[in-house]
Amino acid sequence: MVRRVRAEIGSAMFSTGSKYFFGITFLGAVSFAIYMLLIGESAIGATALFGLVGATGLLTALVLSTRDGSKDEEGVAASTAAPTASILPLIGAIGATLLLVGTITSPVVTLFGIVALLAAIVEWAVLSWSERASSDAAFNASLRKRLLNPIEFPVIAAVGLGVIIISFAQITLAIDKSVGAIAFIVLGSLVLAVGVLFSVRPSLKRGLVIGICVVGALGIVAAGIAGAGVGIREELVHAKEEGHYMHQECGAEKSKYFDKLPLEGVSATSSVDTHIDLIDGKLVASVQGIAGDQKTITIPRSNATNIVFRNMSDGEYRLVASLGSKMVTTDVKEDVVQCTQLIPQGSEQMLTLNIPKPAEAGKPFTLTVPGLTGQSIEVIVP
Amino acid sequence: MRHQNTTDHGTTAVNRLAGMRRRVVGSIAGLAGTMFLAGCATNAPQDTFQPKGPNAKIIDDLQKPVFAVAGIIGVFVTVVVIIAVFKFRDKGQPIPHQSHGNPALEITLTIIPALILTVVGVFTFRTVFDLAKTSDTEMIINVTGQQWWWEYDYPVQNEYGITQPIITSGQLVIPAGTKVLLRQTSRDVIHSYWIPALNGKRDAVPGRVHLNRIEADKPGIYAGQCTEFCGLSHANMRMEAVALSKADFAKWVANQLKPYASPAENTLAKEGETVFMNQCIRCHQVNGMKRADGTPVIAAPDENMVSGAAPNLSHLMSRNTFAGATFDLLNKSCREDVWGAESESFGAKYLGGVSEDCLNQTDLRGWLRNAPAMKPMYANPALLTSSGGKYRGMPNLGLTESDIEKLVAYLLTLK
Ligand SMILES: [Cu+2]
């Protein structure tokens, strides 16, 4: 069965001329890929090859849809009916417009334009090709579906899901953290309830079911747009200013909203050179391969070295690495410091030190904990 | 006529084929012969079957019996197969009675190998754990690999007189009879540290610290090389472990900690120091060197090298190979004197370092004249833009012969 359909489509689809253009397009695409991989840097050649692929691709589509423009080809004579009305030309036009507008506004717009244009071209080409496949309109329509549904359905589903997810995200970013949780528990329960209702009442009117779904989806999208209009909630704005993940504060903590959880767990335990532990108000180093607690650690120059700070004392602490100073411009010196977040008892955080030069005489590199006097580990870089 | 022709062709083809077969068989025999004879070489410093320390001995004690058992089984199986092939070859005899399965035989033939492997496994695991032990470490050395040489730094260890960190390259100097733990890592790509006479190999991986025990029974030089392909000059990334008696090691440490002595005024070496400050300190550190105004000279290999490091030359002439232990700093006769020395006299000779009379002028000058010509490296100044302004290896600095003269005189003072 499957094989028969394939053969049918195959013979109906690939006219002699289209094979030629398809071949050129394919070769062009392969050369383009190889060019990008091997030569990459020169944009001109890549652009030229991309243009070739685009042009021959378009020709392939044209030739395919007109069946080589030949009257003698099978099926051409058969289709005497006028082409069906289609929204595809409009989508294509919008795509082309977006593409042009994008070139002067933003690349994202161009991308949307290209996607719309390509989709319209493919759909249109297959549509017009299928309409001339035979005199049987129903058969032609089924031919079109067989070819395009396997692409259309997943794409539409993915786009639909994406829109819903983005809308959800916009809403949760705008409203309060706890309200968001409650809102979505309610919403989730609602969706579940409606789903259950649909399945226990299969006799429900088709129109009603579609109506409920559309209203629900539109409601979420509308709320999402409203959420995006309101903007993200205040604490997230602050967190962003405070440097969300890369937050660095080496003294007492002044910031409040940054996300301090992401850096707390250290998964790279096997690549740790040294653990710096804060136990009972004392700072000690345990170095891989060296027995006993250390008060100095020696690490090679210019070598990324991972150290993990473990807070085992009551209270929140951070580890600060003071690594001398460096010249920013010819006469401006700047202190080099690196530090972990403030972490509570029982947590750990990693610092990766890469120290290019030995310390100046009399100014050793140190690891200290603010608020803890008399405790420091010396870092020696030979 | 035509027919004749084809036959001729056929014969030629057959002849050619036979010739090819002869050649293939010949080369295989040659290769096998070479390998067999190589097995008997007496001067094979990287021979895995000649352990010179307890860790390598542990490996040897495991691999020899396993090798013997595997060898006996291998020979036995081969002989049986050959006998079967000959004895039962097709002589037109009728097809013999076909049988299917023999549970007793099959179970026996499964259990025997399983037992053998279990025994091998038990001893292998014991060896693995013995080699991973660190609780009995007596000395720590950090080993850092980069394209294409090894750096060693000795953290402060007062019990050995190491009151300041020591940093050197190429030749790893250790006290004999001491359990040394190498903490290995890499600054660029994966390398692997292997001194076959002292232990198995252990990878040096960027961002990780791998531990490697070594210990030498007696003073001597033990050769090795990087065993993880690491780029262009992988083959030239060699190293040596130099074991000294404990007393000699103390002398070596004292020498490494000796403060810098600038050459006397108005000497060639002093002029060399000036050239060095102009040309070399952007990569090479010489500890204790000061500018005319008294500020310390700090090298900036991080700004010039992809790996961020170049060999520390403070005591260059205390080692006797250079550039990834690929070239000798000693000329031929002096080298033979040191490398061929008996264990008892070796230490004193090694500690003698490289004197002017013993210096391998050719290679050192060649290196200064055009390093990439002696050791393939990505160090072409013309291609700097594609490597972000940094080199892999030492570039050709375009020095004049008179600069080289001065530099050699200066380098000779770095004992
Ligand atoms: Cu290597």
- pLDDT, tens digit, for every residue of B262-321? 999 999 999 999 999 999 999 999 999 999 888 889 999 999 999 999 999 999 999 999
Report yes or no: A42 at the B interface, CB cutoff 8 Å. Answer: no
Helices A2-13 & A137-174 angle (0-180, nearest 10): 100
Q: Which two tokens stand for residue B227?
A: 């065993």
CB distance B165–A270 less than 8 Å?
no
Q: Give the one of A271, A356, A358 whose C-beta lies nearest to B208's C-beta.
A: A271
CA pair distance A133, A10, nearest whole angstrom: 12
Span A168-211, pLDDT tens digits: 888 888 888 888 889 889 988 998 999 999 889 888 888 888 89
Check: pTM over 0.80? Answer yes or no. no
Please give the pLDDT value at position B216. 96
Cα-to-centroid distance, B36 and ligand 1 (Å): 29
Contacts of B207 in chain A (CB under 8 A): 271, 304, 306
CA pair distance A123, B296, nearest whole angstrom: 73
Q: Which residues make beta-bridge pairs with B182?
A: B141, B212
Q: Which of residues 304-333 of A touch B (CB under 8 A)?
A: 304, 306
**What's the rounded mean pLDDT across residues B124-144?**
93
**What's the rounded mean pLDDT across residues B404-415?**
95
> Domains in chain A, ordered, with CATH?
12-68+85-154 (no CATH), 155-235 (no CATH), 274-380 (2.60.40.420)
Contacts of A308 in chain B (CB under 8 A): none
For B310, list phi and psi in degrees, rounded to 5: -140, 155
Cα-to-centroid distance, B411 and ligand 1 (Å): 26
Chain mean pLDDT for chain B: 89
Cα-to-centroid distance, A170 and ligand 1 (Å): 51
Which of B208, B303, B313, B392 is the best residue to mutate to test the A interface, defined by the most A CB atoms within 10 Å of its own CB?
B208
Q: Would residue A231 be called left, alpha or beta, if left means φ above 0 and alpha means ψ between -120 and 50 degrees?
A: left
**What's the rounded mean pLDDT across residues B120-134?**
91
Q: Which residues make beta-bridge pairs with B181?
A: B140, B213
* 3-class state of residue A283 by DSSP: strand
Cα-to-centroid distance, B234 and ligand 1 (Å): 5
Cα-to-centroid distance, B218 and ligand 1 (Å): 27
Q: Centre a 10 Å sphere on the Cβ of residue B229 and count the other Cβ atoms it contains.
A: 12
With a cut of 70, list the residues of chain A below it in pLDDT.
1-14, 40-43, 69-83, 243-247, 258-270
Span B66-105, pLDDT tens digits: 999 899 999 999 999 999 999 988 888 888 888 888 889 9
**What's the rounded mean pLDDT across residues B153-178?**
95
CA pair distance A228, B147, nearest whole angstrom: 52
The answer to whether the beta carbons of residues B282 and B298 sit under 8 Å apart is no
Which of A42, A273, A295, A298 is the best residue to mutate to test the B interface, defined by the most B CB atoms within 10 Å of its own CB?
A298
Report yes or no: B386 at the A interface, CB cutoff 8 Å. Answer: no
Please give the pLDDT value at position A270. 61
Report yes or no: B298 at the A interface, CB cutoff 8 Å. Answer: yes
User: Nearest residue on chain A to B152, judged by CA atoms?
Assistant: A300
Q: Which two tokens stand for residue A96?
A: 């082309």
CB distance A289–B165 less than 8 Å?
no
Contacts of A40 in chain B (CB under 8 A): none
Report yes or no: A361 at the B interface, CB cutoff 8 Å. Answer: yes
Cα-to-centroid distance, A264 and ligand 1 (Å): 35
Cα-to-centroid distance, B207 and ligand 1 (Å): 16
CB distance B135–A357 less than 8 Å?
no
> Domains in chain B, ordered, with CATH?
268-319+354-411 (1.10.760)
Q: Which of residues 159-178 of B touch A (CB under 8 A)?
A: 165-167
CA pair distance A141, A124, nearest whole angstrom: 13
Report yes or no: B306 at the A interface, CB cutoff 8 Å. Answer: no
CB distance A289–B140 less than 8 Å?
yes
Which of B152, B153, B189 is the best residue to mutate to test the A interface, defined by the most A CB atoms within 10 Å of its own CB?
B153
Who contacts B119 (Cβ-Cβ below 8 Å, separation ≥6)? none
Secondary structure (H, E, C), A56-88 = HHHHHHHHHHCHHHCCCCCCCCCCCCCCCCCCH
* Among A178-182, A203-207, B349-353, B384-388, the least confident range: B384-388
Cα-to-centroid distance, B204 and ligand 1 (Å): 9
Who contacts A31 (Cβ-Cβ below 8 Å, separation ≥6)? A49
Contacts of B300 in chain A (CB under 8 A): 356-357
CA pair distance A48, A54, nearest whole angstrom: 10
How many angstroms separate the most distant Cα atoms in chain A? 96
Cα-to-centroid distance, B237 and ligand 1 (Å): 6
Please give the pLDDT value at position B7. 45
Q: Give the one of A270, A291, A302 whose C-beta lies nearest to B301's C-beta.
A: A302
Portion of chain A with pLDDT greater than 70, in percent: 86
Please give the pLDDT value at position A360. 83
Please give the pLDDT value at position B45. 81
**What's the rounded mean pLDDT across residues B174-192?**
95
Q: Give the one of B165, B211, B309 whose C-beta lies nearest to A289's C-beta.
A: B211
Q: Which of residues 82-121 of A touch B (CB under 8 A)?
A: none
Please give the pLDDT value at position A180. 86
Please give the pLDDT value at position B35. 67
CA dist list (Å): A3 to A6, A7, A8, A314: 5, 6, 9, 72
CB distance B156–A270 less than 8 Å?
no
Contacts of A289 in chain B (CB under 8 A): 134, 137, 140, 181, 183, 209, 211
Q: Which two tokens stand for residue B197?
A: 């006479």
CA dist list (Å): A242 to A169, A239, A253, A257, B111: 22, 5, 11, 7, 67
Cα-to-centroid distance, B6 and ligand 1 (Å): 57
